[in-house]
Amino acid sequence: MALVTVTACGGGSGASNSSPKGAVIGLLQGFKDKKAAEVCKYTYAGPSVTTQQCITQVAAALKTGSFTGSYKIGNVSVSGDKALVAVTGKFSFLGQTIDNSDPNAGLPSGSTTFTDAYGQANESSDNSPTVPLVKINGKWLVNQTSS
């Protein structure tokens, strides 16, 4: 499998499932706008979680607070049907605060392989600036599962 690292060209335009960057933008914009259906459009919570279950759970979580701060999409690393996206900026949502200035945070480098970096991002706390994604049926989704 090929490993590709993409350098971001600035901050966020274009929420879309057609790229890892677009999926993260869509997810964060959904949180910012308090739109559970939008959050779920960019989320993979596992094969047994329906879209309606996702929307119900996210809608309940969105009642706990609002999105504050700002972010930019950092660099992206892709290996086959998995990707990692680094997010920079300082922002808070759902009781988490992310404060990161490194556009390569959590991406593979040196002796850290993509597989290792992906596993770390997938198992890290919710306030990690590195977002794991998976491509399913041609759509990039933020991976909320542990695999």
Bridge-based pairing of strands 139-143 and 43-44 is: parallel
pLDDT digits over 8-37, tens only? 333 445 899 999 999 999 999 999 999 999
Nearest to 94 by CA among 126, 122, 140: 126
pLDDT band (50, 70, 90) for residue 126 = low
Spatial contact of 133 and 106, defined as CB atoms under 8 Å apart: no
What is the rounded distance in angstroms from the CA atom of residue 97 to the CA atom of residue 62?
15
**Cα first-last separation, the chain:** 18
pLDDT given at position 8:
38
pLDDT given at position 1:
33
What is the rounded distance in angstroms from the CA atom of residue 67 to the CA atom of residue 47?
28
What is the rounded distance in angstroms from the CA atom of residue 29 to the CA atom of residue 34?
8
- pTM score of the predicted model: 0.88
Q: What is the mean pLDDT of the chain?
A: 88
